[in-house]
Structure 1
Amino acid sequence: MGFADDYLIPLVDEGLGNSAYLVDLGDGRALAVDASRDLRTLHASATRRGLRVAFAADTHLHADFLSGAVQLGHDHGAAVLASAAGRRAFEHRGLVDGDEVDLGGLTLRALATPGHTDEHLSFLLLDGDRPLGAFTGGSLIVNSAARTDLLGAERTEELARAQYRSLRRLTRLPDETAVWPTHGAGSFCSAPPGTERTTTIGAEKRANPLLAAPDEDAFVARLIASLGSYPAYFDRLAELNRRGPAVLTAVPLLPALEAEQVRALLADGGHVVDVRPAARYAAVHIPGSLSIPLRDQFATWLGWLLPGDARIAFVTDEDQDLPEVVWQAYKIGYERLAGRLSGGMAAWQEAGLPTSATAFVTPDQAPAAPYVDVRQAAEYAAGHVPGALHLELGALAAHAAEVPHGAVVACGHGERAMTAASVLERAGHSGLTVLNGGPGDYAAAQGRHLTEGDAR
């Protein structure tokens, strides 16, 4: 058993593809690193071990979730540790390269590692002079490095070159040093393949394809070539984190709304988000509502498809986890939650209000119609139906006019495709069919084979 087994508690957010860390300091106190605003799991872990969070460290101004550091300061009296260059507008200890924080037996050393963001710090955890591990945030991650285009296309190459230097600095640590990144598989800040979320310096030197680049120019070219699209809400969260998220003094709730209240909100420019499974939405839904099934990826698509100031009412099934809906929204800055439709769709129908339905079919039932693939570009390139029209879900609203009438809308399984159909229906499309399955299933039903390569 090593330090990580006994004292380090990874807290993985599968939906956003990120890891926070809780470090048991051995004296009833703990260090939290890159905690999100949804602190349910962290609080539960700390309570089980009888820990008070004494320190909350953030590696950078996160773009994909609201930081929980301010809340930990309120709830636990935690000292917030973060880069002085981030100019955070709330009480914190601003650190610069080489600064050290005495954790009581262990030491946390700040290492300037710009690239993912300008003010990015990694935190080296030391036992005396011996490095135990490095919290590398969005710098060195498993088999990759985090994206460098979040501050605009004009700075992408500059930050990629900074990322190169930061990774080279980290690889000078001893090979046995553990690497504890924040971003991992599933994160739009990095999205490397694989399931491993932690690594070591030695393992990355052997296996990370970016570190295998022969020189800086090759590194930059490889990193930039790996960049895909990212959710729209990323463009606003860094500034919200700089200002500091509002402290929550009570658990946010979803009030019950009558059908007429939901209708009025929609008519007044609000949004209705239906979180039921895709098949339930397909059978009957409120016209103009947006289908985002409640699952790990719910927050990503909420933040990609709705404006940050959206007033939202939810349609749920009675057995769905309402706190999960609320926390996924709150952790990315959506707080104008009007409530949920009391009684669900049955109440809406009993009120005599209009409804819609969307065809949801298996591959063998799909009509002969244009095939629209709404997956990410990398997924599409790895294998798609020949002749498919490729429009990523995140960009679909801006390209709705390009979708042929009566198209078959598809993704990898069906959830994103149902979301896409709801986006298209809001834009005036009708007669759409959503595929309950993926491109391989569809091609097999048609007696065809997938093709590879980027969209033309």
Structure 2
Amino acid sequence: MLLKYFYDKPLAQAAYMIGCQATGEAIVIDPARDVTPYLKAADEEGLRITQVTETHIHADFVSGSRELAFQTGATLYLSDMGTADWKYQFVDDGTVLLHDGDTWQLGNIKITAIHTPGHTPEHIVFQITDTAAANEPMGIFTGDLLFVGSLGRPDLLEEAAGVKGTKIPGARQQFYNIQRLKAMPDYLQIWPGHGAGSACGKGLGAIPSSTLGYEKRFNPSFHIPDEDDFVNWLLDEQPEPPFYFARMKYVNKVGPTLLKDLPVPVQLNRTELDEWLQSDALVIDSRPSEVFAEGHLPNAINIPAASNNFNTYVGWLVDFSKSVVLIAADWEADRLVRQLRAVGVDNIVGIASTDLANGPQVIPQITAQELAQRQRDTTVIDVRWWSEYEEAHLRNAIHIPLGYVLRNLDSLPRDRQLIVHCQAGVRSVIAASILQKYGFEYVTNLVGGIEAWQKAGLPIERGTPEAAKV
């Protein structure tokens, strides 16, 4: 048996390939939309991808299951569990629909599907037995059921997809899943679907795998015996799901568009770029924030290519009904297109070189010391997340997390100087570029964010934010 691990750091998402070397077959579990890494790995190992599966209908990225099955001719194995509203709608006669306890073979490897609703109604995990070496299972691909040090959140259907009344029943199902896991052998290896940074749970560990015995000892979800206490704990302090999660649930349910059917972005000249800037398209300037601030084209929004959160920032801000234009360095344009498509941004109509990106608009900068002298004459906007604001914030700062800026433009004064800040200076430039695009003339960025403010020894406040949220 062969096991390959694939990790998408910006999405904190893990996929796996299992190979039976005796028969030359392979299965890929939870593939991402860009299937090139799996095809390359299979070729290097002399394997044929004959099966593709996934643990559930994903919310945080476009699934590659349909794409990989199309490109390889592999058989799709998909959950048929859960409610009618959350069953796959792109299955065909060759798709194998899975139910609790179903088993099948990949050469000498036995795979068992176990229904584990809670994170989503249709969620399943896969128990793996290498029958050539043992008659008991080796481990479990847990998807978004169990993570290293954490547990899959049960509230995404309600919080992201708007399906009311699902998070508390989902949390109770997760409690039941924990009881089932407690009864399983400690030696089982755990291969989760996400790592640290994912919004599919809270407090995920950065270690790529674990054992069930270790999780039983140190994962807090195994140490809350009362069901109601468990539900309250699991639902408390979950990270805010980006707006694009709702779109991903729908796309992955009905079936993502195959890559061959997507529009091919054209290379834009300056005249064409200017035309898109005057339209309702989202024009993303991916240069570093400090470079963008020094001079950019009006109506462009800055989302730096180097940010590990590039996908997430786009997912917060994109309108999927609008065209998208990317301003990017030639050497990283292809990667950024893949990252955009990974979160369902398919209508990428054009790419412009960063050689065309310089423009007359600037984002003025202010230091912490300068702001301290002028704070009474300005409106400070804090675009960090809730936990960051609660830990430390400037007095009288308006708290609008970055993802909510577009939804709260009408609440901001247009006749006052707006000082935008985040933790260190990247998100604030993104926010400032949004404000400029929508006609705010008096926008300034706090250099170094609240980190610079605190390093200067300037006063902060702590407490629960009254954040704008629409």
Q: TM-score, normalization: structure 2? A: 0.88
| Secondary structure of 1:210 counterpart | helix
Cα 1:130/1:386, change in 2 over 3 Å: farther
1:397 to 388, 406, 409: 406
1:122-271 aligned within 5 A? 122-128=125-131, 129-152=135-158, 153-249=164-260, 253-271=264-282
Q: Is the 8 A contact 2:365 2:445 kept in 1?
A: yes
Cα 1:437/1:44, change in 2 over 3 Å: farther
Larger displacement relative to structure 2 (110-119 or 259-268): 259-268
Q: Is the 8 A contact 1:184 1:192 kept in 2?
A: no
| Secondary structure of 2:137 counterpart | strand
Cα 1:39/1:385, change in 2 over 3 Å: farther
Q: Is the 8 A contact 1:285 1:345 kept in 2?
A: no
* Alpha-carbon offset, residue 106 of structure 1: 1.1
Counterpart for residue 90 of structure 2: 89
Give the Cα–Cα distance (whole angstroms) in 2 for the partners of residues 366 and 41 of structure 1: 48
Cα deviation digits, residues 223-259 of structure 1 (max 9, x gap): 1112232111111212211222122238975321122
* Alpha-carbon offset, residue 32 of structure 1: 0.8
Q: Is the 8 A contact 1:304 1:394 kept in 2?
A: yes
**2:421 matched to 1:410?**
yes
Q: Is the 8 A contact 1:23 1:30 kept in 2?
A: yes
* Alpha-carbon offset, residue 328 of structure 1: 0.7
Larger displacement relative to structure 2 (363-372 or 124-133): 363-372
Q: Is the 8 A contact 2:383 2:427 kept in 1?
A: yes
**2:12 matched to 1:20?**
no
Letter in 1 for 2:223: A
Q: Is the 8 A contact 1:254 1:322 kept in 2?
A: no
How many pairs were matched up?
Answer: 443
| Secondary structure of 1:231 counterpart | coil
Cα 1:21/1:365, change in 2 over 3 Å: farther
Letter in 1 for 2:315: G
Counterpart for residue 161 of structure 2: none
Counterpart for residue 40 of structure 1: 36
1:299 to 311, 315, 322: 311
RMSD over aligned Cα atoms: 2.2
* Alpha-carbon offset, residue 287 of structure 1: 1.3
Counterpart for residue 328 of structure 2: 316
Cα deviation digits, residues 177-198 of structure 1 (max 9, x gap): 1111112211111142542232
Counterpart for residue 352 of structure 1: none
Structure 2 unaligned segments of length 5 or more: list them. Answer: 82-86, 159-163
Cα deviation digits, residues 124-174 of structure 1 (max 9, x gap): 111343121111111111222122222224211111111211222223221
| Secondary structure of 1:249 counterpart | helix
Cα 1:53/1:437, change in 2 over 3 Å: farther
* Alpha-carbon offset, residue 203 of structure 1: 1.4
Give the Cα–Cα distance (whole angstroms) in 2 for the partners of residues 313 and 101 of structure 1: 45
Give the Cα–Cα distance (whole angstroms) in 2 for the partners of residues 453 and 131 of structure 1: 48
Counterpart for residue 111 of structure 2: 108
* Alpha-carbon offset, residue 267 of structure 1: 2.8
Q: TM-score, normalization: structure 1? A: 0.91
| Secondary structure of 2:167 counterpart | helix
Q: Is the 8 A contact 1:397 1:427 kept in 2?
A: no
Identical residues among aligned pairs (%): 32
